[in-house]
Structure 1
Amino acid sequence: MPIGLQDYIVEETTAEWILYHNDFSLCSRKVRICLHETGLDYESKHIDLIETGKYEVASKEFLKINPGATVPVLLHYGRPIYESHEQIKYIFNHKRLNKIRGQNNTQIEIDYWTEKASMVGNPVREHKKYAGNTIGPLTFPLFETMLGYVSIVEILKGLIRHPIKQRVVIFLMLKMFGINFLKLPPIKNLMLSAFNDLNSHIDELESKLSSSNEKWLIDDNFTIADISWSVILHRLEECGWSTLLLKNKPFVKAYFAELKKRPSFLKGITDQSNPNLKKGVSDLKNNIEHNLFLKSIHKKLDEYIQ
């Protein structure tokens, strides 16, 4: 699948900016924050993922916009920009808000922390390089509770229409077997490995923040690096991992608290909720407190953090 701005039009439109996105999608959140941060007016087109109700992302209509069946897709005068890390770079460069681009060392830092927080390629691989790739496995428990509000018929439709069958099979297993699917050794080990790798990434983030007196990650400039990390930290909070992963990390805690106050965060995430998500988060919180398997996982990881 190509990345970045394409040289063809997928939709005839008079709108300068159109965002195809999903309430729950981590990468959609990142782009929404960026658009609100820059003040760009855009036409919003919500596309359902299976977690939020159905495989609209694999519909004939949307596959014309993105044959890869992923969101977000940002259109600029009808031309698609694929991959969220490319979209936020394009937006910031278009608005010329990244005024420090000429400072080579600073730009290298921005690129480093943005790339580290990105989701690149297969989400079950390269966890030691990309913190963003650890998020998929760590969201399995939340996927499971959200799918409790989705018809299995909708998931089965994905086996016909979705171009990435592996994803559909995972969601089908989560729907059919629930938390028991997470007990399978390969799945359990994947989650534990992702947790450990993400903990190392956040340790590095803590070290970076503690070595500076600045408010944001790169000096006093709020950049795409901050946007990229804001959605990761928020997902950990949704999934019940933040209590463990931010333990003994006061600088990351304070940093996340400031991120959540930013108007673009409030508009891009807090105000953009979803019924399935609200119910799923509530159910997951209850599972963590009462399900013996999840309680044991959290206890084991808590001891590891100590």
Structure 2
Amino acid sequence: MLKHETNGFNRWQVTQMLVNRILLQSQGAKSSPDVYLEALAQTLPVLAADDAMLAARLLDIPSAQELASAIPQDYDPVLVKEQRDGLYQQVADKLKDQWATLYNDLPMQSYEDSAQARGIRALRNVVLDMALTANVEGAADWAQQQYDHASCMTERFGALKAMVNHQLPKANDYLTDFYKRFQANDLVIDLWFSVQAAADDVTPDVIKSLIAHTDFDWNTPNRVRSVIGAFSSQPTVLWTAEGLKMYTDVIKNSMMPTLYWRRDCYKCWHVGIRWLNHVVKWRMSS
């Protein structure tokens, strides 16, 4: 169906259904990744030239958060992340010999606001991340060149995100450059906060340092979400004794004073804090 279906949405949907069946096998779904991997290998090169946006979306793999929402009980965040990352690695390795060709066929160009141009930018970012995951030779240089010569935020932030998530040697230098370039733009600085808070190697200490940053403001919802919301996207870090303690401390010590006067909000937060404290005690004692 992925190869012969002409409707783009149907192709994307059947791919997502298959990926979910692969990743949720512990919940009773049964499907081998071989069919998915082979279908991508046969379809992606041709599709990238015809419909770059669809090609990019066919490489979507649900996040750990999305997968967690489909697990009603016995949720193990470590297992879910391992399975999700494992499939992502298999895709990257399966197409390892194709990433360089695909990336080079998506050259950097002057900014253009068209469906085709948006698709090319989206696919370039996905291919870059896949190439770094597969340790393709020269992929780190692609990331730096894409950042340096970006014509828009999609290209520059895509390169920065890839460098941060893959812990490239110059990632911190580029984070500093990004901050200096866009320090006056609050929405872009939200991205600067979020890319660090949602990084694969994030720790509670990193979140604490971001909260202590002079540009962090508890009275700015977007800024709070860029850190706390992004951090919650890493359940293997959040759902630990240290992660939950940091999270509850943040709520109690920083957010509660600004919400105290709103009785309904206070009640909601109080219930949440009590529940999280019980979880922390349980995790620490287990």
| TM-score by shorter chain over 0.5 | no
Higher share in helix: 2
Q: Which has the higher contact order (CA 8 A, sep 6+)?
A: 1
- Length-normalised TM-score, structure 1: 0.30
* Structure of higher CA gyration radius: 2
